[in-house]
Structures are given as C-alpha cells and as structure tokens.
Amino acid sequence: MIKTLEWTSQGVRLIDQTRLPMEEVYVTCTTYQEVATAIRDMVVRGAPAIGVAAAMGIALGVQQSTATDVSSLRNEFGQICRAMGETRPTAVNLFWAIRRMQQKFEALAPEGVRQIKVSLVDEAQQMLLEDIAANQAMGRHGAALMPSSGGVLTHCNAGALATCGYGTALGVIRAAIDSGKKLHVFADETRPFLQGSRLTAWELMKDGIQTTVIADNMAGAMMLQGKIKAVVVGADRIAANGDVANKIGTYSVAVLAREHEIPFYVAAPWSTVDMNTPNGEQIPIEQRSHKEVTHHAGKQVAPDGVLVENPAFDVTPNKFVTAIVTERGIARAPFSESLKEMAATSAALV
Ligand code: MRU
C-alpha cells in the first residue's frame, strides 16, 4: 500500500509528489515549518492529505516546543496553527484539521504540557486512520453507482496519494472493481500540475487497473465516442448547497458530462463539506504561480511577458452534480436538504 504520509519518530514522512512518477522518493519534515512548506509546494497535496499533514505538522511543532507551561505553549500552538492555515486556502480539510487540533488542545489543557504533547500526536494519527476508513466507506457506498463495465473518467488525483490511503474518487473505482465491475479509467492529464498523468496513472497502474491518460481537451471527444460511462472526481470544498470546488478543469468536465447525459459523481469525506459556506461563490480559490503555466518540465512554453491566469480550482454548480458520495452515504439534489440531513447523522466507520 502507498504510504502517502506517516508519523515517524524523526518527523512527518511524505512521498514527494512533485517527483512522481519518475522517482519514488520520500522526504521527512523535521519541523512544522518544513511541513507547511511541503504543503505549499505540493510535495503533499489533495484535500484530505493536506488536512492530516497539517495536523501532523502541528503535533510536531508542539512536540518540539520548549514551553514549560500551558499558557506559553498555547501561544506557540497559535503561531503553528496560523502557519499551517496560510499554506493553501481552498481545501477546507486543512481548516477542519486545524480546528480539530485546537479543540483537542483546549480539552487537554487542564492535564498539562506533557499530556498535550503526547495526545496531539495520537490525535493526528487517529485522523489518518479515520481518513482511510472514510475512503473505504465511500467505496462501499459509491461502487453501486459505477457502471458494470466501461470507461470512467476522473480528473486530477483523488486517490491514495491525495488521502491517507485508498482514495475518494479512486476509492469508489477500486471498490467497484473489487466488486467485480470491469472498469477502465480515463485519467485527464490535468494541466498545469499534471496530477492525472503523473499521479493517478501511477497509482492505478501500481494496482493493475486499466488506465488511459488523455490530455484535458480530449474528454469531450471520448464522451461523444461513447467511451465514458460515468465521471467521478474528488473535491476540495463542498458548499452547503452542493456546489463543488475541485481541481481547475472539473467544471468543464461536468458541463461536458451533462451534454452527453453521463452521470457526474463527486466523492469526498464529510470533512470536505463546509456547511458554513452557503454556496460556491464564497469559496476562496487559490491562485498559483504563473510559472506553472508558462513553463513545462523546466522549459518555457509561452512568450515572455504574456498575461497568465492560474487558478488552481474551479467551482462546479450543484446543477451539474448527479450525486455526492461521502462516508455517511449518498446525497442527491436538492443538496441543501440532503447535505443538511447528512450533517445531522454520523457514520460508524470502524
Ligand atoms: O492542487 P491539488 O493537487 O491539491 O488538488 C487536488 C484536487 O483537486 C483533488 O481532486 C481534491 O483535493 C480531492 S482529493 C481526494
């Protein structure tokens, strides 16, 4: 099994996703600042993985603190949480994880510095286990939505590499294949960072799952030719009305799917659902370096001085979404109601 991230006695160990698929290299972040940089530079990426990496980074920072009383530790803890919160703005799992660590800190405060240090590490490790369990539950719910055979298109990487293991969208595909369905995955290459061709193709091939990489602009043609029976993607933040922020290009895929009457599914853990954000317009969209667009594999591919836009995510309006799969079950339109009902339930996962 791919170990996307793990807690070790030396620090937070990550598979370096900037170097895949050519090199499988692991890096160990030995300070919380190194974890924050790894998140910002996308050494670790994907909403659930970012959340758990941040939690481990916080636990690491607290462990290394020399504070001798809870009040000075709380000051340092605040600074560490702020550093994590400033890494990437769109994936709400990051803020969910920080809040969970803050709540844990306050619950432990009466027990003193030593206990806080130990228990925050436990909490981060628990989050990793819960994430894998949530993905497996999503797989169980979502497998039934997949066709019995044929092509399934995915965009970006919502697999083991984007989570603590198994994946969200790829978890649904894995579970469907395990249940006997004969699926063939079409992986959008996902310009400019190439999560589809570099990461999704890499992890699916490792599992022996039939995979075809296509450039992003080929999805429509594949749909028209009848090669795609369903689309399944992950999410970075789902608003209370079911609007979905995910990797740039997801919106175009959703519109194409509607035109070709192909179901468009979103798989994400409940920690990606942001009931405090009413709709997609309120979701902050990360803008990344223009260089990701003007350069490719170290080579310049656009003229000097040209204007560039590089939003890392887009928002797919809920009207294009057939269903949202979470570990709590499957939500369908009207999402304002189905997600509200789901918010009141909790999943027994393990
Ligand atoms: O910029 P990235 O690579 O972090 O973006 C990742 C995505 O958009 C994924 O689809 C999303 O985080 C879901 S991962 C289970």
* Cα of 346 from ligand 1 centre, angstroms: 24
pLDDT of residue 311: 98
The response to whether residue 269 sits with its C-beta less than 6 Å from ligand 1 reads: no
pLDDT of residue 67: 97
The response to whether residue 246 sits with its C-beta less than 6 Å from ligand 1 reads: yes
CB of 285 within 8 A of CB of 245? Answer: yes
Atom 15 of ligand 1 has which residue's CA nearest to it?
A: 158
Buried b or exposed e, range 252-278, using 16+ CB within 10 angstroms: bbbebbeebebbbbbbbbbbbbbeebe
pLDDT in tens, the chain (350 residues): 899 999 999 999 999 999 999 999 999 999 999 999 999 999 999 999 999 999 999 999 999 999 999 999 999 999 999 999 999 999 999 999 999 999 999 999 999 999 999 999 999 999 999 999 999 999 999 999 999 999 999 999 999 999 999 999 999 999 999 999 999 999 999 999 999 999 999 999 999 999 999 999 999 999 999 999 999 999 999 999 999 999 999 999 999 999 999 999 999 999 999 999 999 999 999 999 999 999 998 999 999 999 999 999 999 999 999 999 999 999 999 999 999 999 999 755 43
* Cα of 306 from ligand 1 centre, angstroms: 27
The response to whether residue 326 sits with its C-beta less than 6 Å from ligand 1 reads: no
Nearest Cα to 195, choosing from 288, 104, 110?
288
pLDDT of residue 346: 75
The response to whether residue 48 sits with its C-beta less than 6 Å from ligand 1 reads: yes
- Element of type H or E holding 228: strand 228-233
Backbone angles phi, psi at 275, to 5 degrees: -70, -10
* Cα of 162 from ligand 1 centre, angstroms: 6
Atom 8 of ligand 1 has which residue's CA nearest to it?
A: 247
* Cα of 109 from ligand 1 centre, angstroms: 34
Amino acid, res. 196? G
* Cα of 50 from ligand 1 centre, angstroms: 9
Closest ligand 1 atom, residue 93 Cα: 12
Q: Any idea which residues carry the catalytic annotation?
A: 236
pLDDT of residue 1: 83
- Vertex 296 angle, CA 293 and 299, to 5°: 120
pLDDT of residue 350: 37
- The two three-digit tokens of residue 234, written as one number: 């992950």
CB of 60 within 8 A of CB of 39? Answer: no
Ligand 1 mutation pick, 17, 136, 246, 283, max ligand atoms within 8 A of CB = 246
CB of 51 within 8 A of CB of 237? Answer: no
The response to whether residue 53 sits with its C-beta less than 6 Å from ligand 1 reads: no
* Cα of 233 from ligand 1 centre, angstroms: 9
Beta partners for residue 153, in sequence order: 186, 231
Task: Spell out the residues 6+ positions from residue 270 whose beta carbon is closer than 8 angstroms to its own.
Answer: 134, 326, 327, 328, 342, 347
Amino acid, res. 129? L
334: cis peptide before it, omega within 30°? yes
Atom 6 of ligand 1 has which residue's CA nearest to it?
A: 46
* CA–CA distances in Å: residue 219 to residues 13, 155, 195, 214: 35, 10, 16, 7
Closest ligand 1 atom, residue 313 Cα: 8
* Cα of 128 from ligand 1 centre, angstroms: 17
The response to whether residue 198 sits with its C-beta less than 6 Å from ligand 1 reads: no
CB of 187 within 8 A of CB of 201? Answer: yes
Is 0.85 surpassed by the pTM of this model? yes
The response to whether residue 162 sits with its C-beta less than 6 Å from ligand 1 reads: yes
Closest ligand 1 atom, residue 17 Cα: 3
